Chains A and B, each alone.
Chain A
């Protein structure tokens, strides 16, 4: 018995040492960055004044209407983009589930936006929707409209949502395709044999069996879109800022590193909370749909 104790201790220590290069680095990097942001938000590491504990920066930002608008705007863009990307990826994944002539080429084409950097995509879209972009020039040329339509920097953020979906749909498709293809034909045939039509099969079989992939896609797209900067500055509304844009403005324009840290923490909290809520909502929706 006594000999077994040191052996177990050595085994545990060995395992921890083995984990250290991977897990240790992650904890170190993430921990450092987050701790620094938290510390800055409460007055430490102040680059433009005396350092010391204070909640002033939190007070300033939490009472700022710009932060409130940015939070709501980023939540809106991220939620709609995530849901829309997944909603559009599902039918495509189901359509491409079984190989058919040309399905490989279609699949590759659908994934092409993953290779285009976001900023490039934003500029390409601007070329299309700008005042003198392709759409407006065509509409004017055909005499359909008498003056250019305002599509760039629209108030709602449709252009940003479009860019997010265009960019993130292939990613959702990649995740969902693998999940949908792993569903055995017999399961879908059994459901059909037991009286389930196409919609019932989707609700009761496909959705529950691909839930984890769907949640992964929703969360990753949501986090990416919530923290978007490049699409927003190129194609987003001029009156609303995304959280990332607001954070940059606070730091760059006003030199307020500590307030920018507050916005960063809010952004991380939004990403975390939104992800949990989206995962929970999708779980609930699937459970409800299964009945």
Chain B
């Protein structure tokens, strides 16, 4: 694994991640995430499992492979994964260097992931590779905005946050298309910043 910078950044964040995000953001976004994750079926890959905060919103009896670049994050996810009424296999892995075979998964889910992947288009291309033809990509993400003054604020926030956390001004909608997916739906949750993106890999 080469991306020590990203791994170290999230290893450091692991200690206080649940404290910061476990209450407000999860309570606020929980109903939307639950709705998105209810679409889980077949062989599912969950990208950037983090400390496993999203596991509470997974439908029961699924077989899910969860990956994350940070071993410290995955340590915290272990207990939540064990309590899940289904199967969750956790693996330490960088999205850019996934060792899964081509066309392995029926679905890939992400949750606030592509604000932090260093090379988002190549990360999405890696997802495209491991998805079966016709396989689905479901993303819950925050992105940049095209509306003033929100775009200005997000650019300024990114200047401060990129060294210890996420980038706030990514154009994830365009990145999904650039990686070769067909977008079926973009549902806005807050402004054009927090959104759910549904896409598929053309057969």
A and B pair up = no
Measured CB to CB, the residues of A under 8 A from B are none
> What residues of chain B have their CB less than 8 Å away from a CB belonging to chain A?
none
